């Protein structure tokens, strides 16, 4: 028997390479602006101009750019909240058709969850923490999770609250206004983890927090994604935050990809002048990621 015949060749290895967990191809999105003059065509703004990206299973991608670069529009398309004028978003090779009925994307929502910029604005002030974290479990329940019943949901709520560094017995019956900004962001992360997603999309998850708390939340996200094997798409205007959390980086400018590649290479030797300008504005928060505290008090 020829033993070498069973070994994979470079060609077969390429053919069997796993497909991206999440990918975007040629995304374009244009918005009509308010008409300034009667009888004149309404002006348009090209928010995205042919954006491509890939995120592998367990990988991490940072999307960076200044205000108006197209980050928010790109997030909405990746989350299936809006439909592109051209191009497509694929999850595990299946198209994510945004802008349709919510139930049509329930399969996608179970696997992809969102961590918002403003935790206070995203948490219903009339709901207790237990109900906030339970909401995706109830809305996205399928045959495999419905059988767990209330006891299973309660166990999962306690699990994710503990995972983000909160005492479930202490917080589950309290309301969002009773917590600090850092604690509210931990609750938002717990809610995102509840349905056991494979990918988190985080939009400026620490920009609304005090500097001392930012490092704690960033460190928490880094620990959770590594321990749970989650993929991460992190959207930020700050390359320092991306440096802490992401293996790959995509720099957006005026709706176009200005630069893209391994974060270490891009941050060490950026090719674009725009990227160099962003690097020059990196705050001291990310100057020494190795010495960042693990958790500290849950402020």
Q: What is the pLDDT of residue 10?
A: 45
Where in the chain does DSSP place strands (E)? 22-32, 44-55, 60-64, 86-91, 94-95, 112-115, 199-203, 231-236, 248-253, 256-262
For the chain, domains (ranges, CATH) are 18-33+41-288 (3.40.50.300)
Q: Considering the entire predicted model, what is its pTM?
A: 0.85
Q: What is the pLDDT of residue 170?
A: 97
Query: Tokens standing for 4?
Result: 């070498």
Give per-residue pLDDT as tens, 183-203: 999 999 999 999 999 999 999
Q: What is the pLDDT of residue 143?
A: 56
CA neighbor of 203 nearest in space, from 238, 179, 230: 238
- Tell me the pLDDT of the chain (299 aa) as tens digits: 444 444 444 454 445 567 899 999 999 999 887 767 766 676 788 999 999 999 999 999 999 999 889 999 999 999 999 999 999 999 999 999 887 787 889 999 999 999 999 888 899 999 999 999 999 999 988 755 665 788 899 999 999 999 999 999 999 999 999 999 999 999 999 999 999 999 999 999 998 888 889 999 999 999 999 999 999 999 998 888 898 899 999 999 999 999 999 999 999 999 999 999 988 877 543 444 433 334 344 55
Of the CA atoms within 13 Å of residue 219, those in its CB half-sphere come to: 21
C-alpha 172/C-alpha 166 separation (Å) is: 9
Query: Tokens standing for 179?
Result: 């917590």
| Torsion sign across C-alpha atoms 192, 193, 197, 202 | positive
């Amino acid at each position: 028997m020829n033993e070498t015949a069973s070994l994979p060749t470079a060609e077969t290895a390429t053919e069997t390479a796993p497909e991206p967990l999440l990918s975007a191809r040629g995304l374009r999105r244009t918005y009509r602006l308010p008409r300034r003059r009667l009888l004149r065509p309404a002006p348009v703004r090209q928010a995205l101009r042919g954006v491509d990206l890939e995120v592998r299973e367990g990988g991490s991608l940072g999307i960076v750019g200044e205000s108006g670069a197209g980050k928010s529009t790109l997030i909405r398309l990746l989350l299936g909240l809006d439909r592109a004028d051209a191009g497509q978003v694929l999850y595990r090779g299946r198209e994510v058709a945004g802008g349709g009925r919510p139930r049509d994307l329930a399969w996608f929502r179970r696997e992809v969850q969102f961590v918002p910029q403003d935790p206070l604005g995203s948490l219903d002030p009339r709901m207790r923490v237990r109900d906030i974290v339970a909401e995706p479990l109830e809305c996205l329940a399928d045959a495999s999770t419905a059988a767990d019943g209330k006891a299973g949901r309660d166990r999962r709520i306690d699990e994710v609250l503990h995972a983000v560094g909160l005492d479930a017995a202490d917080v589950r019956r309290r309301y969002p206004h009773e917590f600090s900004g850092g604690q509210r962001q931990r609750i938002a992360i717990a809610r995102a983890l509840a349905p056991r997603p494979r990918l988190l999309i985080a939009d400026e998850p620490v920009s609304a927090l005090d500097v001392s708390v930012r490092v704690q939340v960033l460190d928490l996200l880094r620990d959770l994604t590594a321990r749970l094997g989650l993929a991460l798409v992190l959207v930020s205007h700050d390359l320092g935050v991306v440096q802490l959390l992401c293996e790959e980086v995509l720099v957006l400018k005026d709706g176009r990809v200005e630069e893209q590649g391994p974060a270490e290479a891009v941050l060490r030797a950026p090719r674009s002048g725009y990227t160099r300008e962003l690097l020059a504005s990196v705050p001291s928060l990310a100057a020494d990621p190795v010495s960042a505290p693990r958790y500290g008090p849950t402020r």
